[in-house]
Structure 1
Amino acid sequence: MSEALREELRSRLAELWGGPVTVEGWRRLSGGASRDTFSLDATAADGITHPMILRCDPPVKPTPEVMAREAAVLAAAGEAGVPVPRLVDHGTVLGRAHLLMERVEGETIPRRLLRDERFAAVRPKLARELGRILARVHTIPVASVPDLPEADPLSQLTHLYGQFDDRRPAVELGLRWLADHRPPAVRPACVVHGDFRNGNLMIDGTGVRAVLDWELTHAGDPVEDLGWLCVKAWRFGSPEPVGGFGPREELLAGYAEISGTRPGEDELRWWEVYGTLRWAVLCRMQAERFLSGAEQAVEYAVLGRKVCEQEYDVLLALGAAEPGPVPDVLAGRDDTTAAPPHDQPGADALLRSVQTFLTEETAGDPRLRFLSKVAANAVAIARREALLAPAHADTHTRRLAALGLADDRALAEAIRDGAVLPDDVAVLEAVREGVTDKLAVANPAYAAQVAR
C-alpha cells in the first residue's frame, strides 16, 4: 500500500507541476493514532527539491470533508498570521483523503522540547508566544472555513461519554462540577483550533515554527483553546501549566497583547477541567476502536488504560486529591517462580523479558520504536494487573458496600442523580481510592506529578 501511495502521489505532483517528478526519502512517521503521516522529498523537473509531509486518512475510515475543511483553515490561518505549513495539495489518493504540505523543520516531541538543552533558551518565552498565536487563530473569519461544526461543548461531551456502557464516578463528579460552574457566554463564536497543545506544535530554537493538526477545528468559545493547552496531560511531567513551558499569566498576557482582551481565571479553570474530561472521553473513544474489533492496534488498546490518568487529574482540579507517590509493584521485582506444574521461568518473568526486549532491543524506523515503547507499556500494565487485581477487586467491593452500593455504575449514577452529595467525604474517598488503584496498575508514577 505504501509503494502504491507513493507512486500515486508522484503522478499527482507531476500533473500539478506540469513535468516529471521524483519522490525520495519516503518514510512513515511515528505518532498520530487517527491518520497516517509520511515524510518525503519531491524533486521537480527544474531540479528543485521540495521537503513535504503527507497526511492521509486510514483506508478504513475516510473523512474527505474533514480534510477539505482542514485545507481551508490552513489557508485562512496563514492569512491571519498564524505560523502554519504551506499547503501544496489536498484531495484523494487511492481513495484516501489527504493533505500535502511543506515540511517545516523543528521539533514536535514534547519530552525533547521540555528537557533538551537546545531548547533551554526558548522555553521561558513559549507560554507568552503561544498566547499571541492563539489570539491570531481566533481572528480567522468563521466564514472562511466551510461547514465549520458548532455544538454546545458540555452537551456534546456528555453525549460522547454516554455512548459507552461503563459509568465512571470521577467523570460524573467532573460533569456535575462543569454544569454547576459554567461561566456565561460573553463572546461570539470564533474559529477554535480544537487540539492546540504541546505535541501539535513545531518548535525550534527561535520559537514556534508551525501549528499542526487542524482536523478538530470548530466554532466555539476561544477560551477552549487556552484551557486545552493547559490540561495536565500536555505538560508531560513538567509542573508548568502551559504545555509544560510556563505560567498561565504569561499565556494570558500574550493573548491580551494581540486580542486586547484577557480571559478571567475562572473561565480558564472551567475550560481546563472541561479539557481534562474531554481527553478522558477521547481516550475511551480510541480504546473503543480496539474493543469493538475494528482496529487491533496496540496504541488504541493502551489508550484505554490512560483514562484513569484523566480521572485523577479531574480529582486534582476539583481539590478532591493531592499529588502523592503510588508504589510500583514492579520496582525491583525479579521473581522467576512458575506456578506448578509449569517449568521456570514463570509467567511474570516471561512478560518481563518481553518488556525488556521491546524497551531496549528493538530498532528500525521511528514508528517501530514508538510502537515498541507502547507495547512495552502494555506488558507492564498486564504484569501489574496480574499481581494486584485480586486484592484491588476485594478492597473496592468493600469500600462501595460501605456506601450501600454494588459497583462503580451504581456510584456514578448516584452522583449523577443527586442521591449522594458530590462533596460527601466518604464518596470522594471512595472515588479517589478507586482511581488510585487503577493508576497503580496503569501508571503509578503519574500520581506523583505536581499540578499547578
Structure 2
Amino acid sequence: MTEIVTKGRAGEQLYAVLQEKASEVYGSGSTVQNLTKMSAGASRETWSFDVIDGDGTTVPLILKRDPVVYDSDGSIVREKKGTGVSRTTEGQLVELGGKAGVPVPDVPFYLEENDHTTEGFIMLRLEGETLGRRILREDIYADARTKLAYQCGHAAACVHGIPIEDVPELSSMNVSELLNNLGDQLSSVDHPYPGFEYGLRWLGERHDLAGNRHTLVHGDFRNGNIIVGPDGLRALLDWEIAYFGNPMSDLGWICVPSWRYGHMNKPVGGFGEIEDLLAGYEAGGGEDASAEAVHYWSVFGALRWGVMCVGMAFTHINGPHPSFEKAAIGRRTAETEYDLLRLVD
C-alpha cells in the first residue's frame, strides 16, 4: 500500500496531521495509507484514506475540511472558510442524525484548525453509489429504486424530528425570507428572467401551501447527496447548508426536475413517487406533509436552483476568475426556467 497517493505539499502536510490523530484514536502503531484527494472546491476539500490499526484492521475513512492555501515553504498563509456551516458543525449534525435514526456514516474524530490544517471532520467511507445518473440507470440498483422514495421520506422525517435545542447554532429562514433573498439575488443581475419572476410571484401568492412547521432542515436533500447500495439507502451526505426552516423544503428539493436526471416520470429523485415519499415520511414520524406542500416546495426548489445557475453564470462572466465549472452550471439557466414553468402550468 502507498502512504500518500496525492503527492506534494498538501498531501505530505495532511499526512502528518492524520498520522498523529490516527495514533490518538486507534492506538500507537496505527498508520495512514492511501491518502488521496478526491475533490477540491470553493467550500471544501474531500480526501480518502485508510487507517491500519495495530491489529492490522483496515478502517476506510473520508475527510472533509476547509480548503487551504500554502506558501512556498509549505506553511498555511490563507485559510478560506467554506460556505454554510463550519466543518465541526457539519460533523456534529451528522452525529445527531445518526442518533435520530438517519442513515449516516459514523464520525470517529475531528481536525482542529491550527498551523498545519484547516478545520475538518472524518467519517467512515461507506460502500455504495452517489452519482445520481448511475443510481437511476444501473441494473444493480433496480431493486433499490423501488424503495428509495419511501426510505428517503423516512430519513427526512428523522432529520426533521431532531430537537432544535440539541442542534448547534444555525441560521433561520421562513418562506418569506427565502423568497425575498431569491428576489434580491435575481435583481442583482442586469438581465430579465420572466420565468423566474413569474415563479417568485406564483410562490408569493400561495404562502398558505407552504406549511408553517419550523425544524432542522438538511438543505440539500436530493439524489446525488445520498449513498445507495443494492439494498437501498445507505447514507445521507452533505449537511453543510443545514438551517432552521420549513421541513417541506427538503421534500420539495428532492423532487426538483434537475435531480431526476432525465427520468421525469418519477418525481422523487427520478426513482419514485410522491405517495411513497409521504408514506415513508409518516412512518418516520413526520407531520403535516401533503402532496400540495411538496409541489409548492418543488416549485420553490426549481426557482432556487435556477437563481443559483444565474449566479454561477454571472460570476463566470463578471468575476475575477472565469471558471469552466461555473460556466457549465450557468448554461443550465434556461433549462431550469423551463422546468419551473412546467411545474406551475
Q: Classify the TM-score, shorter chain.
A: 0.7 to 0.9
Q: Secondary structure at the match of 2:49?
A: strand
In the TM superposition, residue 48 of structure 1 has moved relative to its aligned partner by 2.3
* Alignment partner, residue 111 of structure 1: 133
Q: Secondary structure at the match of 1:244?
A: coil
Q: Unpaired runs of 5+ in structure 2?
A: 1-9, 69-78
Task: Please give the residue correspondences for 1:227-266 in structure 2 after superposition, counting only pairs within 5 Å.
Answer: 227-239=252-264, 240-259=266-285, 261-266=287-292
Q: CA RMSD in A?
A: 2.2
Amino acid aligned to 1:62: K
In the TM superposition, residue 264 of structure 1 has moved relative to its aligned partner by 2.4
Q: Distance in 2 between matches of 1:138 and 1:83?
A: 14
**Structure 2 residue 233 is matched with structure 1 residue 208:** yes
Task: Please give the residue correspondences for 1:158-177 in structure 2 after superposition, counting only pairs within 5 Å.
Answer: 158-177=183-202
In the TM superposition, residue 61 of structure 1 has moved relative to its aligned partner by 2.7
| 8 Å contact from structure 1 (residues 183, 267) kept in 2 | no
Q: Deviations over 1:420-443 (max 9, x none)?
A: xxxxxxxxxxxxxxxxxxxxxxxx
* Alignment partner, residue 296 of structure 2: 270
* Alignment partner, residue 131 of structure 1: 153
Q: Relative to structure 2, which stretch is displaced further, 134-143 or 164-173?
A: 164-173
| 8 Å contact from structure 2 (residues 144, 233) kept in 1 | no
Q: Distance in 2 between matches of 1:290 and 1:100?
A: 32
Distance 1:34 1:148, change over 3 A: same
**Structure 2 residue 335 is matched with structure 1 residue 315:** no
Q: Distance in 1 between matches of 2:99 and 2:43?
A: 27
| 8 Å contact from structure 2 (residues 215, 247) kept in 1 | yes
Q: Relative to structure 2, which stretch is displaced further, 242-251 or 175-184?
A: 175-184
Q: Distance in 1 between matches of 2:210 and 2:274?
A: 21
Amino acid aligned to 1:56: R
- Percent identity over paired residues: 39
* Alignment partner, residue 61 of structure 1: 80
Distance 1:2 1:309, change over 3 A: farther
Distance 1:238 1:53, change over 3 A: same
**Structure 2 residue 31 is matched with structure 1 residue 22:** yes
* Alignment partner, residue 35 of structure 1: 44
**Structure 2 residue 99 is matched with structure 1 residue 79:** yes
Q: Unpaired runs of 5+ in structure 1?
A: 320-452
Distance 1:5 1:283, change over 3 A: farther
Larger Rg over CA atoms: 1
Distance 1:46 1:295, change over 3 A: farther
Distance 1:135 1:171, change over 3 A: same
More helix by share: 1
Amino acid aligned to 2:92: A
Amino acid aligned to 1:92: E
**Alignment TM-score, normalising by the size of structure 1:** 0.66
Distance 1:186 1:177, change over 3 A: closer
More strand by share: 2
Q: Deviations over 1:137-169 (max 9, x none)?
A: 111111222111102322222233334343322
* Alignment partner, residue 73 of structure 2: none
**Alignment TM-score, normalising by the size of structure 2:** 0.85
* Alignment partner, residue 92 of structure 1: 113
In the TM superposition, residue 182 of structure 1 has moved relative to its aligned partner by 1.9
- The match for 1:12 among 10, 21, 32 is 21
